[in-house]
Amino acid sequence: MKATVDQIRRRFDADVERFSNLDTGQASTIDAPLVMELIAQSAAALHPEARALLDIGCGAGNYSIKMRQLLPELDVTLIDLSRPMLDRACQRLTGARVTAIQGDIREIPLPEGRFDIAVATAALHHLRAEEEWRAVFAKVHRSLVPGGSFWIADLIRHSTPVVESLMWTRYGEYLSGLRDEAYRDHVFAYVEQEDSPRPLLFQLDLLREVGFQAVEVLHKNSVFAAFGGIRRG
């Protein structure tokens, strides 16, 4: 049995400090600082006049902070399961107009045609059934202005068993090198308990299916990828 939403929320409630560092808050994620830069720079290049950002699974606000370094006029809408995470994100987003919403993206209604940019980082792997993935992708698509973009950085699976095994072995080696084998086993245990990642190609196809005109892959390394879709203008 996978963890419930409440169990996941409680784990993140207790982990605010770790996720409040732009450089080390996602140490268990390969290439996290690089991916943050790539997504922020891509979004800023596409939308230099952007005024509204949606940050899904915002954690302590790292991506919103990085986005506003490049697009300082952004208003930010934060969504997260964890109230302590939202509170910390709001504290850190000084000078921004922030709307903070606690809850599950599967249940939260989004205004249509509101946001220039949406990001979801290390969040969507908590979705379960394929219908949930489709509904969330479609909801985000509707929430964007024409020409808006949706960027995802997340854990992924692979469709071929041999490749899947290889990539998870490589990820295990990364985690063991970062700390030790006990840390690797700890990370693998909570991935097994909490997460339901889907292959990159599944998600790219789904972006197209719900209406994104173009999709882009910014980065892939082992079991992590950064990618996105651009709504028709």
pLDDT band at 12 (very low <50, low <70, confident <90, very high): confident
Are residues 204 and 217 in contact, defined by beta-carbon separation less than 8 angstroms? yes
How far apart CA 131 and CA 155 sit, in angstroms, is 19
Per the CB < 8 A criterion, the answer to whether 191 and 3 are in contact is no
Q: How confident is the model at residue 24 (pLDDT cuts 50, 70, 90)?
A: low
CA distance 96 to 150: 21
pTM: 0.94
Question: Going by CATH, does the domain composed of 5-158+197-231 fall within 3.40.50.360?
Answer: no
pLDDT in tens, 59-101: 999 999 999 999 999 999 999 999 999 999 999 999 999 999 9
Q: With cut-offs at 50, 70 and 90, classify the pLDDT of residue 123.
A: very high
Contacts of 84 (CB under 8 A, 6+ apart): 12, 13, 16
In this predicted structure, which of 1-5, 15-19, 120-124, 154-158 has the lowest mean pLDDT? 15-19
Q: Where are the chain's structural domains?
A: 5-158+197-231
